[in-house]
Structure 1
Amino acid sequence: MIGERAYIGIGSNLGDRIKHCQETIGAISDIAGVTAIRTSSLYETAPIPPASGGWFVNGVVSVQTQIKPGALLLELLRIERSMGRAAERARGEDRSIDLDLLFVGSQIVEQPDFVLPHPRLHQRRFVLVPLCELDPDFRHPVFGVTMRQLLDRLDDPSLVRLVVPAVRSVESEEDS
C-alpha cells in the first residue's frame, strides 16, 4: 500500500491510562486503509491545567495510510467516542482518551475546525519526545526543521518520563 505517513498523538489521564492507550492503538490499526503501524513508547506527563484527573500517559502512533486527512480525523473522533469521550469537549478537560492528528505527510490544512500540522505540537514536550523516538529527522512542513530540532529548542520544562517501552509495532509485509 502506497500512501502517506501520518502521525497520531494519543493520551489518557483517566482510569487505566496505559490500557486505554493500548486499546486505542489496536483500534487505529483496525481502520480500513491504515497499515504499517509503529508506536512510540508510552510516557507519563504532567497535566496542563485545567486538567485535574492526574498525570497523562502519552505516545505517538505512526501509520501508512491512503485515507485523506479529514476522513482520518473523523475515524479518530469515532474511536474517541467509542471509548467514552464526549463529542463536545473543552480544551484541557480530563479524558479517558485523546487523539490528535499531528501530521499527514507534508500536507497543510487550514480550516476553521481542522488545522494540519497540529498547531501546538511544536510547544509540547509530551508530543515531541515520542515523535523523536519514531522519526527524529521528519521535517515540519511549515517550520522546515526536524522534530529533533524542535525538541532541542523547546522551552518547556515539563517532565516526560518513560512508563512503557515500545508498546507495539505492527509492520505490513511490504515494509519488512
Structure 2
Amino acid sequence: MNSHTVFLGAGSNRGDRLDYLQRACTLLEALPDTAVTATSPVYLSEPVGVTDQNMFYNAVIRLRTALKPQELLSHTQAIETALGRAEKRQRWGPRVIDLDILLYDQLHIEIDGLTIPHPEMHNRKFVLLPLVDLANPRHPVLQQNAEALLKTCPDSSSIEQTSHSLQ
C-alpha cells in the first residue's frame, strides 16, 4: 500500500460542535486504507465571511491513507453529508461539519472541485495554529513551512485553544 500523509482541517459551529468533530474523526478512521495518526487540540475561533453566527470549533487531523486525493475528497464529502451538512448552503455560513483537505504530501493539485494545498490555508489562523501543533509541513506552492506562514498570516480574528481533544 502506498501511504500518503494528509492534513485535514475540521470545523463545526452548529449543535454539539465537539461531538461533530469527534464523529468526523471516527468516520475518517473507518475509511479504507486510512488511519488517523494525530489530532490537534480544538480551537475556538470567530467565523469568517458571515460573522453573525456561532463561534467555530476547529482542529487539524493528520491521516495516513492510500486513497487518492479525489477519492479522499469524495469520502470527506460523504462524511459531511452523513453528519447532516446541507448540500445547498450559504458560503461561509453555519455548518455542522466542514472537512477540508489542507495538504496531501507535497502535491499541488488544481482540478474541478479540488485544490491542494487548500487555497486559503495560509490566510487562516484557525488552520495554521492547529496545524503547527501537529507538524511544520512545507507549503508546496508558497515554499514556506507552516510556522513561517503563521508568522505572516494576515488573519487578525480571535482564536483560542480549548481544553478539548478529539481522541
TM-score (norm 1): 0.90
Q: Distance between the aligned counterparts of 1:99 and 1:74, measured in 2?
A: 11
Post-superposition Cα deviations, 1:26-47, rounded to whole Å, max 9, x if no partner, equal: 1111111112421000000001
In the TM superposition, residue 92 of structure 1 has moved relative to its aligned partner by 0.3
Secondary structure of the corresponding residue to residue 164 of structure 1? coil
List runs of 5+ in structure 1 lacking aligned partners: 169-176
What does residue 121 of structure 2 align with?
Answer: 121
Please, what is the CA RMSD of the aligned residues?
1.3
How many Å separate the matches in 1 of 2:98 and 2:46?
A: 15
Please list, as runs of the form range in 1=range in 2, the aligned pairs for 1:144-163 lying within 5 A after superposition: 144-163=143-162
- Render the CA deviation track for 1:79-106: whole Å, top value 9, x for unaligned: 0000111223332011011110111101
* Residue 131 in structure 1 maps to residue 155 in structure 2: no
Is 1:73 the counterpart of 2:73? The answer is yes
Q: Percent identity?
A: 32
Give the unaligned 5+ runs of structure 2: none
- Equivalent residue, structure 1, for 2:62: 62
Which amino acid is 2:63 matched to?
V
Deviates further, 158-167 or 11-20:
158-167
For 1:8-62, what per-residue CA distance to the aligned partner results, in whole angstroms no more than 9, with x for missing partners? 0000000111111111111111111112421000000001131533000000000
Which moves more between the two structures, 101-110 or 157-166?
Answer: 157-166
Deviates most, 138-147 or 49-58:
49-58
Q: Is 1:19 paired with 2:14? A: no
Secondary structure, aligned partner of 1:63: strand
Q: Which amino acid in the other structure matches residue 50 of structure 1?
A: V
Using structure 2 for the length normalisation, give the TM-score. 0.95
Distance in 2 separating the partners of 1:36 and 1:167 = 11
Aligned match of 1:106: 106
Structure 2 letter corresponding to 1:97: I
In the alignment of these two chains, the number of paired residues is 167
- For residues 24 and 51 of structure 1, the distance between their equivalents in structure 2, rounded to whole angstroms, comes to 24
